[in-house]
Chain A
Amino acid sequence: MEHISHAKTYWVVWAALMCLMVATVVLSRVPMPGPLNTLIALGIAAAKATLVILFFMHLRYENYTLISVVFVAGLFWLLIFFGLTLVDYASRHVLGVPGH
């Protein structure tokens, strides 16, 4: 049967989300070397997304190995798309021959 979590859980998760949002906004104002700003911002976004998926979207409660597989498959395919496209773009200048 469907899991019914305590309403308090949702409020706690929401509070955590708001904290993370404040954190990402504040940290984005702090100059950091290289891509660190972006990495931290994306890390916090991933944390927020995880909270939403696990608690608000009930992935944690549902006995849904299957749904996790479906969702992870989606992310994995997204990474294939990013990764193999970048294989091209990241190596375009390596050979030093325009167009290759």
Chain B
Amino acid sequence: MATTAVATPVVRENYLNTNYGIKSWLLTTDHKRIAILYLISITLMFFIGGFFATLIRLELLTPQGDLMTADTYNKVFTMHGIVMVFFFLIPSIPATLGNFLIPMMIGAKDLAFPRINLLSWYIYIVSAALMIYVIVNGGVDTGWTFYTPFSTTYSNTNVFLAGIAIFINGFSSILTGLNFIVTLHRMRAPGMTWSRLPLFCWSHYATSVIQVLGTPVIAITLALVAIERLWHIGIFDPKVGGDPVLFQHMFWFYSHPAVYIMILPSMAVMSEIITCFSRKRIFGYAFVALASIGIAVLGFLVWAHHMFVAGISAYAALVFSLLSYFVAVPSAIKVFNWTATMYKGNVSLRTPMLYALGFIGLFTIGGMTGLFLANLGIDPHVTDTYFVVAHFHFIMVGGAVMAYLGGLHFWWPKMTGRMYNELWGKVAAFLIFAGFNLTFLPQFILGYTGMPRRYHAYVPEFQVLNVLSTAGASILALGYLLPLIYFLSSLRNGPIAGDNPWAAQGLEWKTASPPPTFNFEETPVVTWEAYDYEDLPKEVPVVS
């Protein structure tokens, strides 16, 4: 059959069709292509991490450790944590959406250091490959927290290589952050002042500050663990007068702010989606922007609230508890401002908005339960139990992953030029929200009744709640598989989206979808405030 599939002249040149072939992708310095490379790699890591999560939930269906051995279970939850935290959540929004959008949002042709951007992806790939090698070769069983002296002396698994993998991965994160900071300072288009900057950029700026200042510390800490394993002696070794609690200080100095590396970009996405689907400017722009910076700074002052029962002094516990309450304030400010943004808006509940509203709900619960853990009276009882597990999953999955999916839906037409199926999008959003709550709400009760985390087998009285949790997880898994399917299918079958399918404000919508290689035909000049929806269509259009 003769085909007439000849490229019609209507198809404009864009970053996807400008050239083809593996080499043009692997050697690209285009931030948009690098974002796509990241998107593919972190999606792979997400499903690897999700596979381990499935195993965990299946094992916990029954109180006896019957599905796998204790050692296997310990490796499974460790690798779930490592893969999800270091290889999915931390790069998730910044390296994909941030990478793709920041230059466009500020009217630049690319990030300040395109080759370093590519380098950071390669570093990520090397570290991820090393981690997968570790997983295939027996795994690691220290928990993602690598607490000494278990990790340095007592574990018989591949702690050394896992530590090195995360060490390497850190540089990928640092280089991304460095690139963003310089880009935001030096590459803004004429007229794009700081007060006109989209809040997406503000939040990513705050994220980058944390990446640049925090990540080196986890790198040196894990390097010390790795050296201690090789050398059989080290500064965390109590036998020579070392203090294992010092490891925890150094670990959490990064790993607590790392939570904000995950959540600040989610807040970045929120501000864009909520304004667009309410057709309104953001309520209290300056407060939302400064709250991001406030979180980045205060986030570094609270790390020892992970260590209230670890043997730190009571006075240190008081100081860190107090500071932890401080950091809750800017997060609360953000939630209130997003809510207020909807007031007197013209709210359309399209898929990205559903994720955004889901985010507000789940993040609020996650944040509120954080107040319990910052509380010195309650934390000694609930720390290291499922209460903590539930709390940080509300932040990292209910918050960060919801926002990541919301952002993907929002900018999918920009990235690919195609629209996904709206009905399936809504179905998936509801499944994820329902499945998530069913999975993690019972874990709060489990935690307060005393089920410790990282338990392979548990006492029988905890079974009912665990069964509920596993049931929720299966709904959640289904919810996560759906977008994979309809996104892929939209690449071929989705309707052409057009340059600005949501009639959204922001420079990224003023160029073609997908954008041309250098983003704009000519450097834009910005004369308007962020989220100036006054003169845009009063409704979100429907693409079909």
Residues of A near any B CB (own CB < 8 A): 66, 73-74, 77, 80-81, 84-85, 87-89, 91-92, 94-95, 97, 99-100
Contacts and interface: CB of A to CB of B under 8 A. Distances in A.
21 contacts: A73-B209, A73-B213, A74-B213, A80-B300, A81-B217, A84-B301, A84-B319, A85-B253, A87-B313, A87-B315, A87-B316, A88-B245, A88-B304, A88-B312, A91-B313, A91-B315, A91-B316, A94-B313, A95-B313, A95-B315, A97-B314
Contacts of A80: 300-301
B300 A85 contact: no
Which A-B residue pairs are the 6 nearest by beta carbons? A88-B316, A91-B315, A91-B313, A100-B314, A92-B313, A88-B312
B492 interface: no
Contacts of A88: 245, 249, 304, 312-313, 316
A38 B313 CA distance: 27
A85 B303 CA distance: 10
Q: Chain B interface secondary structure, helix, strand, loop or mixed?
A: helix
B23 interface: no
B311 interface: yes
Contacts of A66: 185
Nearest to A77: B213
Contacts of A92: 312-313
A72 B410 CA distance: 38
Interface in B302-321: 303-304, 311-316, 319-320
A92 B301 CA distance: 19
Contacts of B249: 85, 88
A100 B317 CA distance: 9
Interface in B235-259: 245-246, 249, 253
A84 to B, nearest CB: 7
B311 A84 contact: no
Q: Chain A interface secondary structure, helix, strand, loop or mixed?
A: helix
Contacts, number: 46
Contacts of B246: 85
A81 B253 contact: yes
A63 to B, nearest CB: 13
A84 B304 contact: yes
Given A84-B304, A91-B316, A92-B312, 9 more contacts: A73-B213, A80-B300, A85-B249, A87-B320, A88-B304, A89-B313, A91-B314, A95-B313, A95-B314
Nearest to B213: A77
Interface string B313-353: 11110011000000000000000000000000000000000
Interface in B180-195: 185
A64 to B, nearest CB: 11
Interface string B202-239: 00000001000100010000000000000000000000
A87 B323 CA distance: 13
B231 to A, nearest CB: 23
A74 B209 CA distance: 10
Nearest to A95: B314
Interface in B7-54: none
B179 to A, nearest CB: 14
Contacts of A95: 313-315
A95 to B, nearest CB: 5
Contacts of B319: 84, 87
Contacts of A74: 213
Given A80-B301, A84-B301, A88-B304, A99 B311 contact: yes
Contacts of A84: 301, 303-304, 316, 319-320
Contacts of A97: 314
Contacts of B185: 66
Contacts of A73: 209, 213
A73 B314 CA distance: 29
Nearest to B314: A100
A95 B313 CA distance: 8
Contacts of B304: 84, 88
Nearest to B253: A81
A77 to B, nearest CB: 5
Nearest to B300: A80
Nearest to B302: A84
